[in-house]
Amino acid sequence: MGTERITIFDTTLRDGEQSPGCSMNLDEKLQMAKQLDALGVDVIEAGFPVASDDDFAAVQAIAHACRRPVIAALCRTVPHDIQRAWEALQEAAHPRIHTFLATSDIHLEYKLKKTRAEALQMIRDGVGLAKSLCQDVEFSAEDATRSDWTYLVEVFTVAIAAGATVLNVPDTVGYTIPDEYGKLIRHLREHVPGIDGVTISVHCHNDLGLAVANSLAAVSAGARQVECTVNGIGERAGNAALEEVVMGLSVRQDVMPFTTGVNHEAIYRASQTLANITGQEVQPNKAIVGRNAFAHESGIHQHGMLSHHTTYEIMTPASVGVRNTHLVLGKHSGRHALAKRFEELGYPLGRTELDKAYKLFTKLSDQKKEIFDEDLLAIVRDGLTHIPETFKLRAIQATAGTAMFATGLVTLASDGGEVTETALGDGPVNAVFAAMDKLTGLKGRLLDFKIHSVTGGADAVGEVFVQVEFDGVTQSGKGASTDIVEASARAYLNAANKVLFAKRAPAPAVVEARS
């Protein structure tokens, strides 16, 4: 059986990042891009350079750091956009300009206020300009699935003639269904001259919950590139989930004889990294990467699984990198065991990182009898971040109750020494945040606060994610501790330190403590 290769085009850092609550700063995008590189995706769409200086910088940095995959930058079909995308891609080993224009009558009339003929000219000019700069040019006909099929044939014919190497047929509003989408792909293959010489790509949104089904139907009909995102994040209901597309193709080789370059065992780690960066947890019943994706609750299922795992399992958790949560280390485990376990989890630590991790580990093992993989992952994620800390948390104390205001007392250390502040609040977390504002000199407005326990049990580590606006700048922060008020304080301070670092402000002089 032939196994044709499907190109996996990841747009987590562009379409995914556009969705509410998923914005990432430069360091976070770079961290995610490296994870995608390790995952083995073929194309990383790194951003939309004309949209903002931050997007531009992210594309530049990712192009510099990730040498194996193709790095794509998005742009409209207008010259300034295209030039900006190309500038951002200068350092890429394998650059791609991805240019798009809407082609449905709805978009042409209400959004672009262009005629079909004007749009064709814009595509001709835009793709032509992109091609004069870059060999690899992708053209997307936005809202293709609501475009007139005859017009779409004209659109793609023009795009090929102008030099496009990849033609993308987006289901921008998640409107199509598998059978119809497959027919559209076949129609284009039959009617667009020269289409055999280019790659047909699909890009599906999930408004009807059909993004993955539509993508797979398109592959069966002849598409050879699938655009998708980790955990399916993206505009509105999201994009096709990478892990579902890849594992769908892998598990159903019998009816879809295709391969991808994705390293399946790195899927879970990529999913967790993204969830951790954005603070958007994966829904428990999410296919492939959800907490319950491999859990068997009912007695009948458990009995079947004990007899033979294939009774209720179409793929093993290990095949996508999900390990059993098991007790790994305890108070008396040494540095060597810790280093080995981190390595097994995919985090080979350097000497300095290991020293820091070991310190955090011993502190944690004083608070917690059993240490699980998740605890160790929380240490890498929250304890080993490289944001220089203008302020370090030295101590907190909080009181709360039903009949009183909550109070928070915080001691921070900076180059100027240690200071302590107190504040009142609606609750202990709020009071601690207010005390920290007094000390850092920043005024924070909490936009998002999430907490989850990384393992079970009363002594579990709580991980807190916050999104805070400090004087017009929004920043996220994370913190972990067995004490949730402390975890919250660490997350808040992490966000504040990022803002202070970004401002490159000299360490503010310690504010005199007021009692």
Binding site for Zn ion (CB under 5 A): 15
Polymer length of the chain: 515
Please tell me the number of Cα atoms within 13 Å of 347 on its side-chain side.
23
**What span, in angstroms and rounded, lies between the C-alpha atoms of 356 and 361?**
9
**Which backbone phi and psi does 353 adopt, to 5 degrees?**
-65, -40
**What span, in angstroms and rounded, lies between the C-alpha atoms of 276 and 478?**
9
The one-letter amino acid at 23: S
Pick one of ligand KIV, Zn ion, none as the site partner of residue 140 (Cβ within 5 to 8 A by kind). Answer: ligand KIV
Residue with smallest beta-carbon separation from Zn ion: 15
Closer to Zn ion at the Cβ: 204 or 419?
204
Task: Report, in Å, the least distance between residue 204 CB and ligand KIV.
Answer: 8
Q: Which of 56, 86, 100, 433 binds ligand KIV (CB under 6 A)?
A: 100
- DSSP H or E run through 167: strand 166-171
- Listed ranges 118-126, 164-172, 182-190, 267-275: which one lies at the site for ligand KIV (CB under 6 A): 164-172
Closer to Zn ion at the Cβ: 15 or 382?
15
Q: Which of 126, 170, 178, 279 binds ligand KIV (CB under 6 A)?
A: 170
Pick one of ligand KIV, Zn ion, none as the site partner of residue 361 (Cβ within 5 to 8 A by kind). Answer: none
Task: Report, in Å, the least distance between residue 234 CB and Zn ion.
Answer: 6
Binding mask 200-229 for ligand KIV (x = CB under 6 A): ---x-x------------------------
Task: Report, in Å, the least distance between residue 223 CB and ligand KIV.
Answer: 14
- DSSP H or E run through 186: helix 178-191
Tokens of 379: 């240490």
**What span, in angstroms and rounded, lies between the C-alpha atoms of 234 and 14?**
9
Pick one of ligand KIV, Zn ion, none as the site partner of residue 17 (Cβ within 5 to 8 A by kind). Answer: none
Judged by CB under 6 A, does residue 77 bind ligand KIV? no
Q: DSSP label at 320? A: G
Task: Report, in Å, the least distance between residue 44 CB and ligand KIV.
Answer: 15
Q: Which of 77, 104, 172, 229 binds ligand KIV (CB under 6 A)?
A: 172
Number of chain residues interacting with ligand KIV (CB under 6 A): 9
Among left, alpha and beta (phi > 0; psi -120 to 50; other), residue 334 is beta
Contact 178, 221 (CB under 8 A): no
Nearest-10 crossing angle of helices 79-88, 53-65: 40
Q: What share of the chain is helix, strand, coil (3-state, %, to 5)?
A: 45, 20, 35
Closer to ligand KIV at the Cβ: 51 or 256?
51
Task: Report, in Å, the least distance between residue 74 CB and Zn ion.
Answer: 10
Q: Which of 7, 9, 15, 444 binds ligand KIV (CB under 6 A)?
A: 15
Closer to ligand KIV at the Cβ: 172 or 273?
172
**What span, in angstroms and rounded, lies between the C-alpha atoms of 284 and 291?**
5
Q: DSSP label at 383? A: I
What are the distances in angstroms from CA 466 to CA 433, 448, 474? 11, 5, 10
Task: Report, in Å, the least distance between residue 100 CB and ligand KIV.
Answer: 4
Contact 416, 438 (CB under 8 A): no
- Listed ranges 167-175, 185-193, 216-224, 492-500: which one lies at the site for ligand KIV (CB under 6 A): 167-175
CA dihedral 275, 279, 280, 281 (to 10 degrees): 60
Task: Report, in Å, the least distance between residue 213 CB and ligand KIV.
Answer: 17
Pick one of Zn ion, ligand KIV, none as the site partner of residue 374 (Cβ within 5 to 8 A by kind). Answer: none
Give, as ranges, the residues between 127 and 146 that touch ligand KIV (CB under 6 A). Answer: 140, 142
Pick one of ligand KIV, Zn ion, none as the site partner of residue 100 (Cβ within 5 to 8 A by kind). Answer: ligand KIV
Instruction: Look at residues 240, 177, 221, 191 and name the one whose alpha carbon lies nearest to residue 16.
Output: 240
**What span, in angstroms and rounded, lies between the C-alpha atoms of 227 and 42?**
10
**What span, in angstroms and rounded, lies between the C-alpha atoms of 296 and 84?**
51
Closer to ligand KIV at the Cβ: 15 or 373?
15
Closer to ligand KIV at the Cβ: 208 or 502?
208
Residues lying near ligand KIV in the complex (CB under 6 A) are found at 15, 100, 140, 142, 168, 170, 172, 203, 205
